Structure 1
Amino acid sequence: MSPHDRADALWPQVRREEFVRDWLHACVIDMAQETVPLPPGYSDPTVRSLVLFDDGDVHLSLAMFDAQASCADRSGQDTLEFADGWTRLWFVRADRVEAQRICRTDTPQAGVRRDPPRQVRPGQEFLLDNASEILRFTAIGGACIFLRLLVRNPMQRHAVEHDAASGAIVRIRQAQAHEGRLQMTLSLLRSLGRADAIDTIADKPQSWPPDLRWHGVREALALDSRRGFALLEAMSREDPDPMLRALARETRDRLLQAYPQLGEIA
């Protein structure tokens, strides 16, 4: 049975308030006994969750959004991250909650597309393709508790972060172990001054995923500015990924402004 089939079989059994109440009641009994460990949990600045089930491919948790922590966490750069897999959300409690679906577009100029914020009600469900969609809370007046079912995608090669205000790419994060080792090898070659690594970077780009192509060009620039800039210029015109072409053009223009002599290579 595939991860999607397992998730499809599990979801109807858990997306009920009775299930959540029974599960929490069992946790209360465990707490009273003290010798029984509570389920594992996760916490970031805005969302806390308890894990109900995780087999490596399918992850089910009960999560609570902290509105006060969310306001405090917005002090730094506000970013939108599109990662791997698919997520289903089912709201147990939603007191004066509004949420906005944000989609990553294939148009470099747009970056992201935002749907109008809509009120979220208890029992409402959302299905998200994490590589291109996220759900962002825009208003929370009270409790916000939801079940979250994640189906991981082992074929997803990278995650992308966008600046929330402009939609511009902030960073591309590696998500594959093999490609991560390639990335580290390129960085080691650059650190050791091995300029022959540029030949590999120039020969392999179309067989590499976008994040690794971008990393290779950056390392080539650090090894040899002239040869690296030529690769950057080629990427800005020829790379098949429109977001990466836009990022290469932005970097090229910034470098030309700082180092006009590079224009002789273009």
Structure 2
Amino acid sequence: MRIDPALRALRSNPDSQRIAQTALETCKSGWRSAEGNASIFAELIRYGRGDELGECPALSSLFADLDRAAALVEDLVSQILPQIAAHPLGQVPFRHQYSGGMAVLQLAAAGDAALSLVMYERSGDTPHSPTICFTDTERHEIALAGSGTMQIVRRNRGRRAPAELSVSSVEMKSGQNLSLCGMFETKRIESVEERLVILRLGRTGAAPEPSLEFRVADGELVHQASGDKRDSCHELMVSLLGRMGRCDAAPVLAEMTRSGSDHLRWQALRECLALDTATGFTALCGIARNPADTLSANAGSLRAQLIEAYPELAAFEKTLCLA
């Protein structure tokens, strides 16, 4: 098997990887703390904690002044590219991803906010997805280079179903900025001339609403998911306990049905019923009997279905009432 000489040298000297990574991390820290940049990242922390963008003048200036935004990125590029050239096997010290003609480099994150560099490539005549997703994320963007056209999709602010969607096109070119309220405004790329590079500031709600995916043609809701990443992680944990058959986890799952998001509570209830019928049915009846609970109607319907399928549960419920 052929091993590249550079990799062979790296393997023979383990310290070289540590030296390379230290150099890249030092470069990153120096860029963030440089005069003119430090205030931006200090305000990103405040913004991530809930301050309004207007209260963060250095951060907001990036999305009002192309020269300021470009200077921030050019400063990073001028410093880090020589380090990458000197240490080609070092890991880029930023979270990054590339998929389907879109690349994202996360420059910094604090609390619920993140500052990222986004690049779109021309991807040919790819048809639009028939659906569009709205997430509880506030976004501010400014085009740094290139040009392209975006479709801005807005939905009515009421809770009517189906949703009323409107679509308009916006040309994005160097210096063009855009702000979107994620639950009611979102965007998708319509076309790109070669490349389009954008600086993006995003902030997720402190208690994010569920993400909603609608069919563009008629506004029908086709999918809903928790907007909180922590809920998604907990749902996976709950499902895993169920697949493992951990009956000893039933009391914990029952406790989880009493607070938290409706998605997570319902998932915990389902798994609790599957693992321990008595514990799960007790939790189910408690929810069904509480008219103030947002899951009361769903719980009552499920309770009726279970009693119809398993009449012995009616007797069990009587013992609960007596207790």
Q: TM-score, normalised by structure 2?
A: 0.55
Q: 1:107 to 1:263 in 2, by over 3 A?
A: farther
Residue 21 of structure 1 deviates from its aligned partner by 4.3
What's 1:193 paired with?
A: 247
Q: Could you say which residue in structure 2 is the equivalent of 1:125?
A: 177
3-state SS, counterpart of residue 68 of structure 1: coil
Instruction: Check 1:139–1:60 CA distance in 2 against 1; reply closer, same or farther (3 A cut).
Output: same
Equivalent pair of 1:64/1:145 in contact (CA under 8 Å): yes
Aligned residue in 2 for 1:169: 223
Contact 2:215–2:221 (Cα < 8 Å) also in 1: yes
Query: What CA deviation, in whole Å up to 9, does each residue of 1:128-166 have, x standing for no partner?
Result: 334x1442225114233221012354x325642525453
**In the alignment, does 2:94 pair up with 1:43?**
no
**Aligned residue identity for 2:161:** Q
Q: Alpha-carbon deviation of 1:215?
A: 1.8
Aligned twin of 1:31: 81
User: Which aligned pairs between 1:147-158 and structure 2 lie closer than 5 A?
Assistant: 147-153=199-205, 155-157=206-208
Q: In the alignment, is residue 139 of structure 1 matched against residue 166 of structure 2?
A: no
CA distance in 1, matches of 2:282, 2:124: 43
Q: Distance in 2 between matches of 1:220 and 1:99?
A: 44
| Paired residues of 1:98 and 1:140 also in contact (CA < 8 A) | yes
Q: 1:16 aligns with which of 57, 65, 75?
A: 65
The change in CA–CA distance for 1:261 and 1:103 in structure 2 (over 3 A counts) is same
Bigger RCO (CA 8 Å, 6+ sep): 1
Give distance in 2, aligned partners of 1:56 and 1:70. Answer: 38
Give the root-mean-square deviation of aligned CA atoms.
Answer: 4.8
Report the Cα offset of residue 188 of structure 1.
Answer: 3.0
Q: CA deviation at 1:263?
A: 10
Q: After superposition, what is the alpha-carbon deviation per residue over 1:210-260, rounded to whole angstroms, capped at 9, x for unaligned?
A: 22222233324534499399669949x86538xx97xx59x96xxx7xx99
Question: SS in structure 2 opposite 1:119?
Answer: strand
Structure 2 partner of 1:63: 118
| 1:89-116 deviation line (CA, Å, top 9, x unaligned) | 1233563503223448562633x44222
Q: Distance in 2 between matches of 1:209 and 1:233?
A: 14
Amino acid at match of 1:43: Q
Deviation at 1:27, TM superposition (A): 1.4
Query: Does structure 1 retain, via aligned residues, the 8 Å contact 2:139–2:203?
Result: yes
Helix, strand or coil at the partner of 1:240: coil
> TM-score when scaled to structure 1?
0.64
Contact 1:158–1:176 (Cα < 8 Å) also in 2: no
* Aligned length, in residue pairs: 246
Shift of 1:196: 5.0
Letter in 1 for 2:169: R
> CA offset at residue 88 of structure 1?
0.9
Report the secondary structure of 1:188's partner residue: helix
Residues 113 and 35 of structure 1: is their aligned pair in 2 closer, same or farther, counting only changes over 3 Å? farther
**Identity value in percent:** 14
Q: Take 2:156 and 2:226, find their aligned partners in 1: how far apart are those partners?
A: 13
| Alignment partners' CA distance in 1, 2:209 and 2:261 | 8
1:184 equivalenced with 2:234 (yes/no):
no
Residue type of the alignment partner of 2:294? P
- AA aligned opposite 1:62: L
Paired AA for residue 104 in structure 2: S
Q: Is the contact between residue 150 and residue 191 of structure 2 (CA under 8 Å) also seen in structure 1? A: yes
The 1-side partners of 2:98 and 2:117 are apart by 14
1:43-94 deviations in Å (ceiling 9; x for gaps): 24243133444344542222112352893895xx9562514x4221123356
List alignment gaps of at least 5 residues for structure 1.
Answer: none
Do 1:15 and 1:147's aligned partners in 2 also have CA atoms closer than 8 Å? Answer: no
Match of 1:213 in 2: 265
Which segment drifts farther, 99-108 or 207-216? 99-108
CA distance in 2, matches of 1:228, 1:67: 56
